[in-house]
Amino acid sequence: MFAPKPRLNVRPPAVAGSFYPRGKNELKAIVESLLAEPKSSDQGRLLGVIAPHAGYMYSGPVASSAFAEVAAAEHSYARVVLIGPPHYVSVSGIAASSAKAFGTPLGDVPIDTDAIGYLVDHGLVSTDDRAHAPEHSVEVELPFLQTVLGDFILIPLPVGDASPQDVAAVIGAIMDGRTLLVVSTDLSHYLDDTSARARDRATADAIERLDYTTLGPYDACGFSALNGALCAAQERGWTVTRLDLRNSGDTSGDRSRVVGYGAWAISTNKPELH
């Protein structure tokens, strides 16, 4: 039996079968069941969400709280800018991909190559496919987005050592009335349950007051992307509202070493972006 040839210019899924199911039907059923559980809230005009990126068996219920907001939004989105941390390859600045699409078991998501070309040409990001190849922080959000949005184009950007202002500049350059911002991050790692809840509550408070100056790697693995989004929110008068805050002990039952997960809505009461 011959293995299928890799498709040209498509970044294949790296964590299908581990972080989420490899089979299309099984994955579709799990995502739909997760999205059926949470209730959406009224957050004004939704601009984006913050969601965790662990395996669905751990963080799926919290992630679905974020993407249920997207599903319920009255506004439609044609494009998603998805920022998160690089876990496997060190990234200087912000890493774009040269791929034309990102694949998941639910199908291929086309990349907005024009927008990425603009960001590269203006020195806001650099192309680094090594960072994208194994990375799950972008990938695990895609089946949720494919389910709630259907067709959309993607700007996937792992954020390394970029400053909050650098990330905010990228967000400002590409956000428009049809673009959704997704910030992919987990919270504290491998603390006991009591310590994790205390740290994650402090992190949540910082997020909700748009404090992009205090969060570090022990608070959130995607702190660079997160701080950049908070900087953009502060500059533009956006609001960040908590949707859910839990940890892996709530699903696994093991409370000795847990990972924190949170979901937030990023919104504005203004009818249109400036």
HSE-up of residue 193 (Cα within 13 Å, Cβ side) = 11
| Residue 105 clears pLDDT 70, i.e. is over it | yes
**Inter-CA distances, 240 with 35, 119, 230, Å:** 21, 26, 8
State pLDDT tens for residues 10-55: 999 999 999 999 999 999 999 999 999 766 666 679 999 999 999 9
* DSSP β-ladder status, 179-184 and 45-51: parallel
* DSSP β-ladder status, 179-184 and 79-84: parallel
**Inter-CA distances, 72 with 64, 66, 75, 259, Å:** 12, 10, 9, 28
Q: CA torsion 186→189→192→198, rounded to 10°? A: -60
Residues 6+ apart with CB under 8 A from 121: none
**Inter-CA distances, 140 with 48, 137, 163, Å:** 17, 6, 25
Stretch 223-227: mean pLDDT, rounded? Answer: 98
Q: Which fold does the domain 55-268 belong to in CATH?
A: Protocatechuate 4,5-dioxygenase; Chain B (3.40.830)
pLDDT band at residue 273 under the 50/70/90 scheme: very low
Stretch 263-269: mean pLDDT, rounded? Answer: 93
- Percentage, residues of the chain above pLDDT 70: 93
Stretch 241-252: mean pLDDT, rounded? Answer: 93
| Residue 67 clears pLDDT 80, i.e. is over it | yes
Closest CA to 143 of 184, 177, 113, 114: 184
| Mean residue pLDDT across the chain | 93
CB 82, CB 150: distance < 8 Å = no
| Residue 1 clears pLDDT 50, i.e. is over it | no
| Residue 173 clears pLDDT 50, i.e. is over it | yes
| Residue 272 clears pLDDT 60, i.e. is over it | no
